[in-house]
């Protein structure tokens, strides 16, 4: 069983690791970047004058906040001292309960325990007094007698309260005070510190999109500080090693792998379809388009192959599969589909008019026998035309989406009208 579990974990690790390698090596090309709203950056190193973060802070508001923090910290130390004393009291009574000490040692433990009791009995620090009555320390042979179980239980309750409520409360107050002190230290004050000269590695806007070319792989992210951070020793605009909430931006990093272009850094960007294309896909489509004497065009709305005759083919899934298989005849036949659809719709125009009038007459109760006969004949003609159109996508509804993408907006509108009139006529006349 144990070996099986280890084997399963090993298989899971190998699978995840393999996926990570595969993902990290995915090659892409950037496309249509002029329509990208995000600013594109490149690395830059500049000599600049910066605040000296080794200089001590003298800001009055900051100093007051730190003093408030120290006050709370001192309260915390007092509570910690009390916890330590009470833990000693518990330890003493646990030893007395075992009854393994000498008379002298037992007397010493009792005296020390009574002293701790006297120091804590009147303290109501955070409403947690030590609720042990003095009568529980009755005079005896060793100075005092005691109910050890009761004393241990009551003392442990106080220790637990102090640890879980008071110390945690003080820690939160201290953290909040320190955070507020840091946040209230204004950027103007930091800028007023004495200056030093040093090189700063940062990002700058890439205004020449022509330098972004060739193939890229995603190399992860980099971090950039967006403000001067005195306490973490980071400067505004500086590339840093780690992310800190409230002071750091994250940028996606794409490395150029064939030396053609500049590395790319973009904030809040991860493979949007309209701006990237896998390198292998790009190669397949562009080379296929060239073989057909056309060109591969990319826009934010989609990918098209423009042929010599000016016809455009949207790169749908089946078109891409044909490009991979170098089945250019299939693609050229596809390019003829829009003109065929237009021709069939034009053929149907007079019949559709007759059918539309028949539908209106039916609704208005003005349908004559002659009109109905014409309506039926026109519907039968359009059904035959519809059969020819359906053959263009193999009469398979799964192919209709890709088929529709081949058509322009006007043709889609005409086809919608065609379908509406035909379906209504078939329904009313019962011609299925």
DSSP codes joined into one string, 135-193: GGS---TTS----HHHHHHHHHHHHHHIIIIIIHHHHHHHHHHHHHHHHHS-HHHHHTS
Rounded CA separation 250/248 (Å): 7
DSSP conformation letters of 54-86:
TSPP--HHHHHHHHHHHHHHHHHHHHHHHHHHH
147/50 Cα distance (integer angstroms): 68
Task: Tell me the pLDDT tens digit for each residue of 250-289.
Answer: 998 989 988 778 898 988 765 555 677 788 888 888 888 8
Q: Which residue has the tokens 């591969």?
A: 296
Q: What is the pTM of this model?
A: 0.47
Q: How far apart are CA 390 and CA 384, in angstroms?
A: 10
Give the pLDDT score at 9: 44
Query: Can you point out the beta strands (E) in 226-257?
Result: 239-240, 248-256
Is the per-residue pLDDT at 16 higher than 50? no
Q: Indicate whether 352 pLDDT > 90.
A: yes
Length of the chain: 432
Across the range 422-426, mean pLDDT stands at 94
What percentage of residues in the chain have a pLDDT greater than 70? 82
pLDDT digits (tens, 9 = 90+) for 220-233: 899 999 888 877 88
Distances (CA, A) of 426 to 225, 386, 391, 430: 67, 12, 20, 5
What is the pLDDT at residue 425? 93
Q: Which residues pair with 195 in a beta bridge?
A: 51
Q: Which of 277, 265, 271 is nearest to 215 (CA)?
A: 277
Give CA 155 to chain center in angstroms: 49
Which three-class secondary structure state does DSSP give residue 296?
strand
pLDDT in the model for residue 12: 41
Kindly report the average pLDDT of the chain as a whole number: 80
- State yes or no: pLDDT of 239 exceeds 50: yes
Give CA–CA dist 317/327, Å, rounded: 13
Of the pLDDT bands very low, low, confident and very high (cuts 50, 70, 90), residue 143 is very low
Q: Quick one: tokens of 59?
A: 């800001």
Residue 146 is predicted with a pLDDT of 58
pLDDT of the residue at 6: 46
Look-up of token digits 């080379």: 287
> What is the model's pLDDT at position 115?
80
Q: Alpha-carbon distance 31 to 355, whole Å?
A: 48
**pLDDT of 300-329, one tens digit each?**
456 788 888 777 888 877 888 888 889 988
Q: Is the pLDDT of residue 64 over 50?
A: yes
* Beta-bridge partner residues of 42: 204
User: Could you give the 3-state DSSP secondary structure of residue 304?
Assistant: strand
Which pLDDT score, from 0 to 100, does residue 5 have?
47
């Amino acid at each position: 069983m144990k070996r099986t579990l280890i084997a399963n974990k090993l298989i899971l690790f190998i699978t995840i690791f393999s996926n990570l390698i595969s993902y990290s090596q995915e090659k892409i090309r950037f496309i249509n970047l002029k329509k990208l709203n995000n600013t594109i950056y490149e690395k830059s190193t500049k000599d600049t004058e910066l605040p000296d973060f080794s200089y001590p802070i003298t800001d009055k508001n900051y100093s007051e906040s730190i003093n408030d923090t120290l006050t709370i910290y001192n309260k915390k130390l007092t509570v910690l001292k009390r916890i330590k004393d009470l833990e000693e009291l518990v330890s003493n009574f646990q030893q007395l309960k075992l009854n393994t000490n000498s008379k002298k040692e037992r007397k010493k433990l009792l005296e020390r325990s009574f002293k701790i009791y006297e120091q804590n009995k009147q303290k109501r620090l955070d409403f947690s007094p030590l609720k042990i009555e003095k009568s529980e320390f009755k005079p005896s042979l060793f100075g005092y007698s005691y109910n050890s179980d009761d004393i241990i239980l009551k003392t442990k309750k106080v220790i637990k309260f102090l640890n879980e409520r008071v110390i945690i409360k003080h820690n939160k107050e201290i953290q909040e005070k320190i955070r507020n002190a840091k946040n209230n230290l204004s950027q103007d004050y930091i800028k007023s510190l004495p200056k030093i000269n040093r090189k700063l590695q940062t990002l700058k806007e890439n205004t020449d999109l022509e330098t972004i070319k060739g193939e890229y792989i995603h190399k992860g992210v980099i971090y950039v500080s967006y403000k001067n951070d005195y306490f973490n020793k980071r400067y505004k605009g500086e590339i840093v090693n780690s992310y800190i909430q409230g002071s750091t931006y994250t940028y996606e990093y794409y490395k150029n792998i064939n030396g053609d272009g500049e590395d790319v850094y973009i904030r809040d960007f991860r493979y949007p379809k309209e701006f990237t294309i896998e390198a292998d896909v790009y190669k397949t489509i562009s080379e296929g388009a060239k073989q057909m004497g056309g060109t591969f065009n990319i826009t934010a709305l989609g990918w098209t192959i423009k042929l010599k005759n000016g016809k455009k083919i949207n790169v749908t899934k089946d078109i891409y599969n044909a490009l991979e298989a170098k089945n250019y005849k299939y693609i050229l036949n596809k390019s003829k589909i829009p003109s065929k659809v237009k021709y069939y719709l034009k053929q149907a125009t007079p019949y559709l008019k007759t059918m539309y009038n028949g539908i209106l007459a039916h609704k208005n109760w003005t349908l004559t026998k002659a009109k109905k006969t014409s309506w039926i004949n026109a519907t039968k003609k359009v059904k035959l035309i519809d059969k020819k159109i359906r053959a263009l996508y193999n009469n398979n509804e799964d192919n209709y989406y890709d088929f529709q993408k081949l058509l322009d907006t006007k043709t889609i509108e005409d086809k919608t009208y065609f379908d509406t009139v035909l379906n209504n006529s078939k329904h009313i006349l019962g011609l299925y």
